[in-house]
Amino acid sequence: MSRIGERAGAGIVALVAIAGLAVQFDATLAQTGSVGETLWTLIRFFTVLANILVAGTLAAVAISVRVSPRLVGGMLLAILLVGIVYGLLLRGLLSLSGGALLADTLLHKVTPLITPLWWIAFARKGRLGWRDPWVWAIFPALYLPYALLRGMMEGSYAYPFINVAKLGIGQVALNATLMAAGFVAAGYALVWIDRRFSARP
């Protein structure tokens, strides 16, 4: 695929992620009434952090900034985790409308769908290594203690499957272990797919 197509596609995905973040910011601001409180509220969520990663990485690609394949792979896995966890565990838990519903759709459904499509169509293949899944796992591994600490301090957890007060530390540890194992396994699958694509004539 052409470099122009790669950049244009990256720009489109970045704009979708930015639009989702902007709509979510506006919807949350309407509830909090404070820019600072809105930002503090939003960065509780892995969904928001992953969409920021997508927006920043692919915006850089769109303007021809050199981005490492390892970073692109980590970004892809992070946003895939968002979509998969939402579909399996979070969909339908909240009744949303208006801007909140639009943001939910863009951040949890649209961006996690079009990001891997961009990667398949345009990302340069054959540059990922078998150690990369462990590097990619650092992002969610660092998020977990941060989310738990905030949950314990604020009395409200970002996601129900890490709610220590309700589930207990044992169940939360099991949930985190299963998700971590799935994430690393998905990372190895991505490396394998990357190498299969690069072997095509």
200 is written with which tokens? 């095509």
Mean pLDDT by 10 residues, the chain (201 residues): 86 98 96 95 97 98 94 97 93 83 96 97 92 96 97 95 95 96 96 86 50
126 is written with which tokens? 């054959």
User: What distance in Å separates the CA atoms of residue 79 and residue 52, rounded to the nearest whole number?
Assistant: 10
> Which pLDDT value is given to residue 17?
98
> Which pLDDT value is given to residue 150?
96
Residue 109's Cα: distance from chain center in Å? 11
Q: Model's pTM, two decimal places?
A: 0.94
Q: Which residue type occupies 129?
A: G
Cβ–Cβ under 8 Å, residues 20 and 110: yes
21 is written with which tokens? 């973040």
Q: How far is CA 178 from CA 159, 175, 183, 187, 199, in A?
A: 15, 5, 9, 14, 32
> Which pLDDT value is given to residue 200?
58
